[in-house]
């Protein structure tokens, strides 16, 4: 869901480069006969630093209902470029241009605009995804690339922190023993 939104955004941001890349989302690899930029999700975890233990309550039909706070996920992506050219020198230049264009598009953005996000990520109570370029040492490890079945590639990484709504049907809403006293002495 978010990866496709990110791809749509990058496609628009990279539309004017002469290499005319296609974006792929699977394992890093070439797209037959085309210049390709691959956006591969390689890690996902809850962003514990952004975890909130605050309670979110709402009064519904005379009872206090706990509402779930959004889940904050940190998604690690690797971006690689795959030129269509077979000539080694030309392929190297195309690869560098593709990576530079993708890097520039992400470096100038700290989020994906709402116009590209799917409906569940556009909710008013959710923070917009945050993009941060990273320097992941894992990308320099040949074993990382071997796990994808390809040789080492020039690449870069970034993290995207995405807020996901928690399904209210799977959340325990019951709040017992909660009294809220307002300044005027009214107790609810």
130 is a domain residue: yes
pLDDT for 76 equals 92
Distance in Å from the first CA to the final CA of the chain: 41
Pairing mode of beta strands 130-134, 36-46? unpaired
Model pLDDT, residue 17: 94
Is residue 156 a part of any domain in this protein?
Answer: yes
- Print the domain residue range for 38: 2-46+70-160
pLDDT the model gives residue 38 = 93
Q: How far apart are CA 27 and CA 30, in angstroms?
A: 10
- Asked, for residue 58, whether it belongs to a domain, the answer is no
110 is a domain residue: yes
Across the 188 residues of the chain, what is the mean pLDDT of every consecutive 10-residue run? 89 92 86 90 81 66 72 90 91 95 92 87 80 87 86 90 71 52 53
Residue for token pair 């995804």:
129
pLDDT of residue 159: 93
CATH, residue 128: 3.30.2000
pTM here is 0.78
Quick check: is 25 in a domain?
yes
pLDDT for residue 50:
61
Contact 28/153 with Cβ under 8 angstroms? yes
Q: Would you say residue 88 lies in a domain?
A: yes
Asked whether residue 151 is assigned to any structural domain, the reply reads yes
Q: Domain count of the chain?
A: 1
Per-residue pLDDT at 86: 87
In a domain, 129, yes or no: yes
């Amino acid at each position: 869901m978010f990866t496709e939104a990110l791809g749509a955004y990058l496609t628009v941001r990279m539309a004017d480069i002469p290499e005319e890349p296609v974006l792929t989302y699977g394992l890093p690899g070439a797209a037959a006969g085309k210049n390709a930029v691959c956006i591969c999700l390689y890690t996902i975890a809850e962003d514990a630093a952004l975890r909130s233990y605050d309670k979110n309550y709402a009064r519904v039909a005379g009872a206090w209902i706990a509402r779930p706070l959004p889940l904050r996920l940190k998604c690690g992506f690797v971006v690689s470029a795959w030129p269509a050219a077979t000539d080694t020198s030309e392929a190297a230049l195309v690869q560098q241009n593709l990576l530079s264009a993708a890097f520039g598009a992400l470096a100038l953005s700290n989020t994906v605009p709402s116009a590209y996000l799917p409906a569940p990520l556009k909710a008013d109570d959710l923070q917009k995804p945050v993009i941060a370029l990273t320097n992941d040492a894992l990308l320099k490890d040949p074993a990382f690339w071997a796990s994808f079945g390809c040789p080492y590639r020039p690449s870069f990484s970034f993290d995207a922190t995405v807020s996901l709504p928690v399904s209210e049907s799977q959340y325990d809403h019951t709040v017992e023993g909660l009294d809220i006293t307002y300044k005027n002495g009214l107790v609810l």
